[in-house]
């Protein structure tokens, strides 16, 4: 069930931005925020894991490197969904109910890509947790910023020390990318692939076209 068809026109839209590290999610969310604000839309930007006080504490533990012990894959999965459940309940649902558009840096597609394709956990396990945590909330639209892994890594790594995910090997990130592309091919209406390997002006021109389309659709 998407936010737009849950309770009619009064609700905002839930838009997620997905992709590997360094592909330009944060940069382009800001770009989209400005575009939408120029149209008089009430927009809020948030991120996962995180977005609320409690979810940000969980984020710290998920990204922190190193703990004294290895975090198990199941622990990682449950923490991601614990943060998400809190984020949805305390932040996303109320914002959508007020009519705001919520732009979210990563959501459950990242869980399928990282914990499913990357760590090798079963997708049906992720689907079960999703049912519990999301309470029917699904993105209206997802922009998958896609670029070869080395391009994103090159952009991200110039920023500083690697976190617990960033220390993974190349084949992990290739599986993650494959995961995102597989989600896009199974949900072509929701997920739009944006070529994030292009120069920024071209990426943003593509996004502008997609946002205009979304605005036209939501005004009809
Ligand atoms: N994770 C998970 O495992 N499971 C889950 O369910 C969720 C998350 C939700 C947190 O990620 C980690 O959590 C993530 C997966 C895991 N780990 N990894 N890897 P995050 O979102 O906080 O961190 P990130 O993915 O590493 O994002 P990032 O490094 O902040 O990158 P970004 O937001 O996609 O990119 P950016 O900051 O906008 O751009 C990076 C640089 O590139 C910057 O200098 C830009 O100016 C530049 N840039 C951007 N676009 C371009 C173009 N087109 N050309 C040239 N330069 C560009």
DSSP string computed for 68-97: SSPPPHHHHHHHHHHHHHHHIIIIIHHHHH
At residue 94, the pLDDT reads 97
pLDDT digits (tens, 9 = 90+) for 65-124: 778 999 999 999 999 999 999 999 999 999 999 999 999 999 999 999 999 999 999 999
- Tell me the best of 19, 20, 22 to mutate to test the pocket of ligand 1, counting ligand atoms within 8 Å of each CB and taking the most: 22
Measured from the CA of 159, which atom of ligand 1 is nearest? 44
At residue 49, the pLDDT reads 98
At residue 220, the pLDDT reads 67
| CB 49 less than 6 A from any atom of ligand 1 | yes
Domains of the chain are 3-218 (3.40.50.300)
Cα–Cα distance for residue pair 137/6, rounded to 1 Å: 9
DSSP state of 161: S
Share above pLDDT 70 across residues of the chain, in percent, rounded to a whole number: 95
Cα–Cα distance for residue pair 62/79, rounded to 1 Å: 7
* Other Cβ atoms within 10 Å of 4 Cβ, number: 18
214 within 8 A of 101, measured Cβ to Cβ: no
Residue minimizing CA distance to atom 27 of ligand 1: 21
At residue 159, the pLDDT reads 75
Measured from the CA of 105, which atom of ligand 1 is nearest? 21
Sheet holding 43-47, edge to edge: 43-47, 101-105, 14-18, 141-146, 191-195
pTM summary value: 0.95
């Amino acid at each position: 069930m998407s936010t737009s068809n849950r309770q009619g026109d009064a609700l905002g839209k839930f838009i997620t931005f997905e992709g590997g590290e360094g592909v330009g999610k944060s940069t382009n969310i800001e770009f989209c925020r400005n575009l939408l604000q120029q149209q008089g839309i009430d927009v809020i930007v948030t991120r996962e894991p995180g977005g609320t006080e409690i979810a940000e504490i969980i984020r710290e533990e998920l990204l922190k490197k190193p703990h004294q012990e290895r975090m198990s894959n199941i622990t990682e999965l449950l923490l991601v969904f614990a943060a998400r459940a809190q984020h949805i309940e305390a932040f996303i649902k109320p914002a959508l109910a007020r009519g705001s558009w919520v732009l979210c840096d990563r959501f459950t597609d990242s869980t399928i890509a990282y914990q499913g394709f990357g760590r090798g956990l079963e997708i049906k396990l992720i689907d079960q947790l999703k049912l519990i945590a999301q309470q029917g909330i699904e993105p209206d639209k997802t922009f998958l910023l896609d670029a070869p892994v080395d391009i994103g890594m090159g952009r991200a790594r110039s920023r500083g020390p690697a976190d617990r995910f960033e220390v993974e090997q190349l084949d992990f990130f290739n599986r993650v990318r494959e995961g995102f592309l597989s989600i896009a091919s199974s949900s072509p209406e929701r997920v739009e692939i944006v070529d994030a390997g292009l120069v920024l002006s071209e990426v943003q021109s593509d996004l502008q076209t997609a946002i205009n389309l979304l605005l036209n659709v939501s005004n009809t």
